[in-house]
Amino acid sequence: MNALVKRIPIITLIMIMAAAPAGVAAIGQGQQKTAAERSAVGNIIHFFSQPVNYSREPVHPSQVVIFADSLAGVKSVDPADRILDYIWESQREAGRTRFEKQADGTYLARLVWAPGTEGKDPSKDFRNPDKTLRNRPIKDLVYSDGIVYSDGKWLAPYMYHPNFGITANKGVIFFNKDGDLIIRGTKWGFSSTECFKPVIIAP
C-alpha cells in the first residue's frame, strides 16, 4: 500500500501531461497567476492549455530567414551557430532564452528573463528537487548544456524546467519554416513542444 501511495503523485502527473494536449487542461487555474504563484501541476496545466499555432516541421538552419538576418554581422555563417544569433521568447509562457557556445563546441541554454527575475527579491528555483539548489536565482539559470548539433538539429542530453521542477531526459531543438525555434523535451515517454520566437539580436 505504501508503495502505491508514493506512486500516486507521479501517476497523476503523467495523466495530466497526457490529457492536457487533448483539451482536458483548463480546469480552473487562474490565467492571471504567475508561474511562482501556481503549483507545479498548475503550471503544467497552464502550459498545455495555451493556444499554439506554429509549424513543427524541421527546416535546416541554413534555409531559415529571420527578421534581422540582412544586417551585417547578425547571421552566423555556420548553420550550427544559428541559435546564437538571437534572444528567443517562449510563446506558451513568459520567458526568454539565450544560447551560448562552449569551448568544446557544445551549446547551453540560459534563461535570461522571466517574470519576477528583476527587482530586490528575484524569483528563486524553489521547485528544484535538489534542496541545495532551491535558493539559486531563476535569472541566468542554465537549464540545459552539453547540447550538440547534428544534421540540422540540436540534441540536448537534458532540459530542466524550473516552473515544473522537472528535468526532461532528452531534448531536441530545430527551426521551422517561419524561423521559429522549436524545442521539444521528453520525460516518462511523454513530450512537450514549445515555440520560441526571435525577439532581440543577441549581444
pLDDT per residue as tens digits for the range 47-87:
667 777 799 999 999 999 999 999 999 999 999 999 999 99
| Residue appearing with cell numbers 502505491 | 4
What DSSP character marks residue 99? E
User: In this predicted model, what pLDDT tens digit does every residue of 93-103 receive, in sequence order?
Assistant: 889 999 999 99
| Residue appearing with cell numbers 531534448 | 171
Label residue 32 by pLDDT band (50, 70, 90).
low
How far apart, in whole angstroms, are the C-alpha atoms of residue 193 and residue 180? 12
The answer on pLDDT for 29 being more than 50 is: no
Top pLDDT among 102 and 12 is at 102
Give the per-residue pLDDT at 115: 87
Q: Is 49 helix (H, G, I), strand (E, B) or coil?
A: helix
Q: Grid coordinates standing for 67?
A: 527578421
Q: Are 95 and 89 in contact (CB under 8 A)?
A: yes
The answer on pLDDT for 143 being more than 50 is: yes
Q: How many residues does the chain have?
A: 203
Q: Are 165 and 159 in contact (CB under 8 A)?
A: no
Label residue 38 by pLDDT band (50, 70, 90).
confident
The residue extents of the domains of the chain are: 2-49, 61-201
The answer on pLDDT for 111 being more than 50 is: yes
| Residue appearing with cell numbers 490529457 | 19
**Residue 7 CB partners (closer than 8 Å, separation 6+):** none
Give the per-residue pLDDT at 10: 47
**The whole model's pTM is what?**
0.79
Closest CA to 185 of 131, 109, 113: 109
What phi and psi, each to the nearest 5 degrees, are found at residue 188? 55, 30
Give the per-residue pLDDT at 41: 81
How far apart, in whole angstroms, are the C-alpha atoms of residue 18 and residue 195? 19
Give the per-residue pLDDT at 35: 76
What CATH fold (topology level) applies to the domain 61-201?
Lipocalin (2.40.128)
Top pLDDT among 120 and 6 is at 120
Q: Stretch 155-167: mean pLDDT, rounded?
A: 95
